[in-house]
Each structure stands twice: as structure tokens, then as C-alpha cells.
Structure 1
Amino acid sequence: MAELSLAEHLEMLKKSTEQSSDFGKWVETLALVIDTAGDESNENVLVAAIEISEGMENKSIQADASLVLYHRSNAWASLQHIRRTGDDVWRWEQPELVEQIFALRGAIQHPGFVELPAPRRAQIYCNLGNSLSTAGRIVDALVEWKNALVEQRNLGMARGNLGVGLARYGMQLYDEGHTYWFLRSAQNELSQAITGGLGRDGSTYPEALDAFRWHSTKVERELSCYEGPHDSGPSEYPVGKSKRERAYRTWCLGRNLFLNPLNDLGPLSIAAQDVLLLPGHRIKGAGITYRAFFNQLKQEYVYARLNLFEGTARERQHFADRELPLESNADFALYSIGVEQVKTSFRLAYSLLDKLAYFINDYWRLEIPEKQVSFRKLWVEDKKGREVPVGCVRKVFEDSKNLPLRALYWLAKDIYDQDFQEVADPIAKELDALRNHLEHKALKVVLDGLPQADRGESEMFEDHLSHLVGHDELAARAEHLLRMTRSALIYLALAMFVEEQRAYRPGDKLAPVDLGLYTEDRNF
């Protein structure tokens, strides 16, 4: 380090939390201490720096506060590297990784994030993508790498990691046509990352460039096995018959909301259909159970998605809102069918995660009593095999070496539960509060940014049963939950594919038995 020792810089940082000026300088010092301690594998200094950063965050101006969270994530990354053992690749529980994801998301969600320079924003997005990928959440990691490239198009690390992620995602799929296009996209991204070379805007270090070359060679080898199409891209398809349907499907495509892995390659017209089905699986002892359950999950997801589209895109008053007298309370509350559709979308998307937990409980034979099944809790048990809030990951999961299944476990960490201290998303508690009021109390929706009237000490305007939320904020939260649910359904199908590939024995009866698909004109 510069003239001062690491210990002296650390002592200066401790004093900085007691001062109120020039926090930008202290944030730079924090970064220096964390980077140096990481290089020197100094675990004690890293732990101390994390504790100090928690005090600095609340005293910093917005942009600096976002940076503090970013540097804290780097400290946790260094701690993870120091504490890593040979068995960590498949270890499901990784506390340092949870903290990295939480801090990076906190930096992005912080109001000061938009004030940071674009290259720094790109770096934060890229690191979040890397962390999610480590957890197995490749569907979600792709989003963050793409966000990084929006901020800095020539960021080689983001582009190269995107290419690697596309290849890994594609090789997990059981539709060979989909795999082919994922590998083609991976090849393109890796080629651009390699061409960019080394430097500030390219790969950060030579080893990364070597890794991208290795993955590129592997992708080319896989592609040589395909006799599929060799045109410039997937075929174009119509996205709807009516103007309204085309608007809806285009809206879904742009938000990556179709139950179709191809939608993760971009807003391709061929992806404007919910083609995700369960893989072929053994029917002994199950019959049509899993196919029927998955059908219902899909239908409810599509209904939740449609409600969000209609609730946010409605331009005219719904006829059901006419002749509906409501008393004015001077609270600026919004009441309409459209608002209720957004609420319905939120509730359905959230509830689908717990329904998905019932599928996991049955398919993996966990034997958790029905009334105790919870998406957040089903993953752990105590040493006697009892489900507990804080315990060990179930052996059936820990021993599975099933990456999509581990992705589901890590996605569950985005859900708040009062019995769990660990959570990977800063907005998880807010989502839980919104759901609680939607289900049991009242959620009052108002225009975003609308100042509430100064009601002083008057009891006249007291409303202790309602939780206040802006309309656009609620819609954004509902869309966030839809993306979570979509990822969960994809991970579930891929995890089941891994299990079935391992368990299949010649002579096993498999679903799907060829019963065909429902016709599109089903109306009841």
C-alpha cells in the first residue's frame, strides 16, 4: 500500500465513521484496504472492513453509499476465496456468496447507483451476474451480464461470461433445437470477447482470455455435432392475430416473460410462445401427476402475466368500474379494475412459488407434512431429519450435484421468512409485507411520488390497516415476481431432467405417453 500500513489505514477508516465530511476520500480508502487485504489474504482486516462499511453506508451521500455496498461485496468475495476448500464447488450453503449477492443488489437498488459512472455500473452488474452464475442461477445471471453490456458495450468480462453462461444454459436444455441456438449465440459472444483482447475494456486478465478461448473451442466442437439449420438466426414467427394480442406478446418478449428458454436469447418472435414442458419422466407411482400439476402452474403463471399487462396497459375505464360509488377519503388512493389486476398478478406470482414447493416435496420424496410445505423452508432439516428454519441442507439435495436444483435453492433465498436471518435480496422483506397486506389486510395504491397531505395530529385520517405503495412500484414488484417464478419453473424442469437422466433404466415406462396437446380452441 502507499506510505501507511494496512493497519493504519484501517484505523483511519474506523475514525471516518465519526466524521461527516469528505466521505468520498474514505470510500477510496475503504476500497484500498479491501483490495490490499484480499491480495494478502488477510481475513481479519476484511472482516473489520465489512463492519466499518456498514457504518459508512448510512453516512455517505447517495453515489458513495452505492459504492460502499460494491466494495463490501468485494470484501465478501475475497473472504469466500480465502475460506474456500476443495469441496466448495458443490457445497450448497455458501454464506459469503449470499452476502455478495445481497450487497451487489443493494448497490444497484440504491438511489445513488444512477449517479455512478457507466463503467462502474457495468462492473457491478457483471459481478452480480458472476455471483448468480456461481449459485447455479444461470437464467438470472444472463440478465445481469446483458445489463452490464448496456452500460458498457465493450466490457470483455461481461461479454465473455455471457458467452460461457449461454453455452452452459444451452447444454442443460433437452430440446436440441434450443441447444443449437444457445450454442450459436454463445459462440458469437465468446468470439467478440476474444477479439476485444486485454485491457481496460476487454478481459481484465490474461487467464480470463485463455478461459474464453477454451470455452469457444468447446462450443465449436459441440456445434460440429449438429446437422441443424445454418442460417443467420431462428425463423421468424407471427406474434399474434389481433393488434391487442401482438401488443401483449411483444410486451412479454421484451420483458423475458415467456416460458420459453429462447426468450433468454432476446425478444425473438419464435420465443413468443410458452413451449416449456416437463422432460420425459418415469410414470411408476406418479401417473399423470407431474404433468397435470405443471399444466396448472403454467396456466396460473400465464394468467398472472396477462393481469399485469392488462392492469398496466389499460387506457380506458373498465365497464365494471362504472356505477361503483366509493367514498373519498382525501388519501389519493387509486381504485380500479386495472389496479386490482396488478394486485392479482403479484399475489398469483408469489403463491406459485409455494405451489412449486409441493411439486418438489413430492417428486424428491421429502415427505414433509402438507401443511408445513414452504418454498423457503423445504431445503433444510436438522440432524434428526426434521424440517427447521436453521439447519443443514437436506442430504438428498446436497448429494445430488444437480445444478438447476441448486439454482432453485438459491432462488428461495430471495424470499423473506421471519424464521430465517439470511436473505439474498434487499427487497425481500418489502415483498413479504406487500403480500401480507394483499392477503390479510389492505394495500393502498397511490400515484408514485404524490405527496401525502399534511394531516397533523388529526385522528380523522388515521388508517392503521393499510400499507401504502405507489402504482408503478407495485407493478415493478409484480413483474419482478413474475421473472422469479419464470426462472423457478425453468429450473424445475431442468432439475427434473437431470434426475430422470440418472434414474432411467431400460424398460421404464415414461411420460409423456403420446396423448397429444390440448387444442388452442379450448374455452370453458
Structure 2
Amino acid sequence: MLNMNHEDLLKLETIEDLSPSDQVHTIGSLFDFSYDHNNIQGVEHGFKLSEQIDREKLSDEDYTVLHYDLANGWSYLRKLKYRFTKSDWDFQMDELMHEIFYLRKAVASPGFHIVQKERQCQIYTNLGSSFSYIGRFVEAQDYWNKALAIIPHFPMALGNKGNGLYYYGRMLFDEIHANIFIIYAYHFLESGLSLRQYLEGDAEQGFQSLKDHIENNVPKDFLQLPDLNTYELGDDVQLKQYRQWCLDNKLYINPLNDLGAYTVACHDCLNLPTMIIPAKRPPVCLNLFNQIKQEYATARYSLYQSNMGYSQHISDIDVPLMDSMETVRYSYYIEQLKIAFRLSYSILDKIAYLLNDYLELQIPERQVSFKSLWYSDHKKKALGSFFISSDNWALRGLFWLSKDLYEKSNDFDSVLEPEAKEIAEIRNFIEHKGLKVLADVSFWQPDYETDISYTITRNDLEKKTINLLKLARAAIIYTAIAISHEENKKDYSDVRTIPIGGNTIPPFMRV
């Protein structure tokens, strides 16, 4: 392995004569040294040198590390260019897009599970921090949790999770929930600082500053962790099992579920905040949000039901089907899985429809989609004027969440999720073509050249569906919080208004 100082690295004109492993190490060192010396040109030089690396010659482990290093390079470039400037808040930022894309590529790479556990934790921790930064603070928790599942006392994950929980809590319009989040944030910060000797960069200073801030503003007696398992899941066995499944998978539209599988979170309590609308204006947003929540709950239960097929469903008994000898599964339960997938995906466009109305963006209804909502032109290049000046963190999160979706062949450069194209393709085949769900692909190798149906294993479809459902859940939470932020800025003192919100629809009207 080469040992070079910053000046030597900057003078490098080629790395082609190095071994693949040394090439990766050199790029990573150049990025790190350049950031430490506030040298933007050094970071850019690292990107140019990285183009000389033949990816096909890299081992699986080096391939993963290269993507981690490239993500760091883009992160360093972003911080050196924009930190402490107004541009740091911009919705659009190419550096951020590349940073997150490469981190996700590292996670999806074959070598991820064979690199050192510390490296796996670093990748997950950085993903969590990047997601929190762009406003996707709900999903950030999952990445920090994944790091802590690998090394339970990984200090950077503990501290960053505490930081993320604090700012997540500050966004909540339910004061009880907000206070609980701040308490949990304090304890994660404390845990991270207990291992301060392992913290990187200026993390210790940042974590300590936030911990001190909480201590100075919250009485010590109120910083004790509350018991969140005080709610009974019920006596009905089926209801109890369903609620526990939702809690374990963090599928309730309830921020408290992001703290863990605590019974107090076993209901979808998050609704829109109390809103003020003109007296003659119907409650459009309230009705749309209700529909979105209902469709989400139906998608969630459909996914749950799809795993309950221990025997043939009664609706399938009188439906004989011919065996194609390909282990394709056709059943009520498979259709429930498809329904969950379709509903989860469609929720995102309904959120766009809601926001177009609420934010008065005046995009023609036929042109509204979750992917296009944010732009003033059909090529999705120019950000809409409302979003250019917006300080709405949750709305920023929704904008970046839209980058997980794929629409057209020329759209891939602006997509953050490496599997986005496949997800869109599956949706298209479910809606308009044919989807073959196999029990086990090892029993039959599909001929992708001649088959007009999309082929996928049941296990893969289940994984993609639950990920899509989690995406919809996060989007719903961001939407409610984004609207709360906008409502707090409004002044209706000179307008006749009716406050909307507060009462729930009674059970007899939910039949």
C-alpha cells in the first residue's frame, strides 16, 4: 500500500501503473487529504484520477470501497463549496445527488457484506446523515439503525441518530411527540459521546454542543426515558398479531414508531395539522389526505394478508389454472401482494396532486405527477419558483424522495435509487402487461429474450413492496409536516376563515 503526503497526491498524473487496490486507496487518501486542507482542486483531481480505474478489474471489496470513496469525494466537494452559505439550503444540488447515489451503490454492491464491519457502519451512517440533511429524516433513522444492528455501539451512528432525532422532533406539531423525540435524542447523543475517542472530525464538538443545548433548556427530571409500552395491543389474536407486525416493520403513520416497536405507536395518529381555509373553499386537502391514509392502510394490510396464505383461499377454489411447469404462483395472496405494490406507488402521485392544490402551484391537473411537481418545465431542469426560495425542510425531503422514482429513458441521470428503473418496470407490467411470480427461480430459468411477461421471485417482490410501502409512509409524514410548516407562516387575520381539523370520522361511517 502506498504512503504519500498531500503534495505527492496532488502531483499524481496517472494511477494506471498501480494495482487496483492501491488505485482505490490512493483516490480515497486524495479525497481525505484535500478535504482536510480545504482544497477543492484536490477533490476534483481525485475525480479525474478515478476515471482511470478499470472497474472490472476490482475485487468485490475494492469495488465497494471505491463507491464509498467517491461518495465521500462528492460530500467533501459539497461542504467545501456550500457549507455556511445560503446555497447550502438549495433544493437542487448535483453534489448531493452523486453523494447519495454512490453510497447506495456501495450498499447494493456484492462486496458490501465482506468489507470490514466498521466500513459497513460508516456507509450506513453517512447515508443516514445525508438523508437527514436533505429532509428525508424519517428514512435516515433506518440507515442509522442498520449501522447499529451491525455494531450496537458505533459512536458516529449513535451521535448522528441523536442529532437526527432532535431535528425530526423539532418538526413535529404534536408537542408530546416532539418532547419524546428530544428525550431520545439526548440519550443517543450521550451514548455517542461516551465513546468520544472514536468520533471523527468535528463530530464530538457538534454532538456535545447539541447535548448541552438540550440540558440547558430541559429540566433534568424530564430527560428520563419514558415507558412507551403502556398501550395494550388488544385481546383479539388476529388484531394483536397485525399490530405487532406493523410495529416491527415500522409501518404506522406515527412518528413514535420510528423510535422503535413500542405499543404506544400502534395507530396511525398523524393527520394534517389544523388548517385554515377560506370560508367558501371546500376541504380539498383534508379529503385527499384522508384518501391517501386509507389507501396506505389498505396497501399495508394487503401486504400483510399476502403472507397469510397457509392454505388455498376460498376465492381460488373454483378457479382451475393450467400448469405451465415454470413454478409460477397464481393466487389470491399473490394478487394482494400486487395490490399492495400498486397502491403504494400510486399514493405518491396523489400526494403531488394534493400539494399542487395546497401550494397553489397551478400545474394543469393532467400534468401533475410526483416526479414533475417540482419543475417549471417538462424537461425537469428548472426548479419551480416556489421551491427555489422555500425553507421547508420536509418539502425538501419530498423533492429528494421524488428522485427515487423513474419515469422515462432519459430520466435516469436524475435518479437516486439504483433500483428505480426496475421498480417502475414492475409497476408497468403489473398495471398493463404480465407479471410472473415464481416460488423459486432455481427450479426454472426464465428466458428474458422471448418472454413477454416480467419474471420475479415472490421473495424479491415482497422485499420491493415493503420498501415501496415504507417510501409511501415517509412521504405521508413529510407531507403532513410540510403543510404544518406552511400553515405556521400564514396570516388570515383579515380573511373570513373556518378552522378545519380536530374531529375524526366515527366508526359507523367507516363501513
Q: What TM-score do you get using the length of structure 1 for normalisation?
A: 0.90
Mapped to 2, the partners of 1:109 and 1:463 lie a distance apart of 28
State the partner residue of 2:382. Answer: 392
State the partner residue of 1:241. Answer: 235
State the partner residue of 2:27. Answer: 30
Task: Assess, with a 3 A threshold, how the Cα gap between structure 1 residues 520 and 325 changes in structure 2: closer, same or farther.
Answer: same
SS in 1 for 2:146: helix
Given that 2:14 and 2:49 are in contact with CA atoms closer than 8 Å, whether structure 1 keeps it comes out as no
1:492 and 2:489 correspond: no
1:204 and 2:200 correspond: yes
Mapped to 2, the partners of 1:35 and 1:413 lie a distance apart of 28
State the partner residue of 1:358. Answer: 353
| Correspondent of 1:62 among 53, 57, 60 | 60
Letter aligned with residue 176 of structure 1 = E
Query: What's the CA shift for 1:34?
Result: 3.0
Could you report, residue by residue, the CA deviation over 1:131-155 in whole angstroms, capped at 9, with x for unpaired residues?
1111111111111112111112222
State the partner residue of 1:44. Answer: 44
State the partner residue of 1:19. Answer: none
Could you report, residue by residue, the CA deviation over 1:332-376 in whole angstroms, capped at 9, with x for unpaired residues?
211111111111101110011011100011011111111110101
State the partner residue of 1:384. Answer: none
Task: Assess, with a 3 A threshold, how the Cα gap between structure 1 residues 317 and 10 changes in structure 2: closer, same or farther.
Answer: farther
State the partner residue of 1:367. Answer: 362
Query: What's the CA shift for 1:223?
Result: 3.0
Letter aligned with residue 331 of structure 1 = E
Letter aligned with residue 34 of structure 1 = F
Mapped to 2, the partners of 1:271 and 1:448 lie a distance apart of 36
State the partner residue of 1:232. Answer: 226
SS in 2 for 1:380: coil
Task: Assess, with a 3 A threshold, how the Cα gap between structure 1 residues 379 and 523 changes in structure 2: closer, same or farther.
Answer: closer
Pairing 1:105-504 to 2, within 5 Å after superposition = 105-199=104-198, 203-205=199-201, 207-224=202-219, 232-234=226-228, 236-284=230-278, 286-381=281-376, 387-418=377-408, 419-420=410-411, 421-453=413-445, 463-504=450-491
Given that 2:272 and 2:501 are in contact with CA atoms closer than 8 Å, whether structure 1 keeps it comes out as no
Task: Assess, with a 3 A threshold, how the Cα gap between structure 1 residues 362 and 406 changes in structure 2: closer, same or farther.
Answer: same
Structure 2: give runs of 5+ residues left out of the alignment.
none
Mapped to 2, the partners of 1:313 and 1:59 lie a distance apart of 46
Query: What's the CA shift for 1:321?
Result: 1.6
SS in 1 for 2:435: strand
Given that 2:327 and 2:443 are in contact with CA atoms closer than 8 Å, whether structure 1 keeps it comes out as no
Query: What's the CA shift for 1:72?
Result: 1.3
Mapped to 1, the partners of 2:233 and 2:440 lie a distance apart of 32
Task: Assess, with a 3 A threshold, how the Cα gap between structure 1 residues 114 and 360 changes in structure 2: closer, same or farther.
Answer: same
Given that 1:33 and 1:49 are in contact with CA atoms closer than 8 Å, whether structure 2 keeps it comes out as no
Mapped to 2, the partners of 1:511 and 1:112 lie a distance apart of 55
Structure 1: give runs of 5+ residues left out of the alignment.
17-21, 382-386, 456-460
Mapped to 2, the partners of 1:430 and 1:361 lie a distance apart of 27
Superposed CA RMSD in Å reads: 2.4
Bigger CA drift: 428-437 or 74-83?
74-83
Query: What's the CA shift for 1:434?
Result: 0.7
Given that 2:31 and 2:73 are in contact with CA atoms closer than 8 Å, whether structure 1 keeps it comes out as yes
1:511 and 2:499 correspond: yes
Task: Assess, with a 3 A threshold, how the Cα gap between structure 1 residues 50 and 137 changes in structure 2: closer, same or farther.
Answer: farther
Given that 1:9 and 1:33 are in contact with CA atoms closer than 8 Å, whether structure 2 keeps it comes out as no
Task: Assess, with a 3 A threshold, how the Cα gap between structure 1 residues 305 and 50 changes in structure 2: closer, same or farther.
Answer: farther
SS in 2 for 1:444: strand
Mapped to 2, the partners of 1:518 and 1:437 lie a distance apart of 36
Given that 1:180 and 1:223 are in contact with CA atoms closer than 8 Å, whether structure 2 keeps it comes out as no
| Identical-pair percentage | 32
Bigger CA drift: 185-194 or 308-317?
308-317
Mapped to 2, the partners of 1:33 and 1:95 lie a distance apart of 21
Bigger CA drift: 260-269 or 189-198?
189-198
Given that 2:254 and 2:268 are in contact with CA atoms closer than 8 Å, whether structure 1 keeps it comes out as yes
Q: What TM-score do you get using the length of structure 2 for normalisation?
A: 0.92
Paired residue total: 500
Query: What's the CA shift for 1:510?
Result: 4.5
Could you report, residue by residue, the CA deviation over 1:281-329 in whole angstroms, capped at 9, with x for unpaired residues?
1121533211111111000000001111110232222111213221222
Bigger CA drift: 401-410 or 207-216?
207-216
Query: What's the CA shift for 1:523?
Result: 5.1
Query: What's the CA shift for 1:49?
Result: 3.5
Instruction: Flag as ranges the 4+ runs of structure 1 deviating above 4 A.
Output: 7-10, 227-231
Mapped to 1, the partners of 2:105 and 2:294 lie a distance apart of 33
Query: What's the CA shift for 1:11?
Result: 1.1
Query: What's the CA shift for 1:219?
Result: 2.1
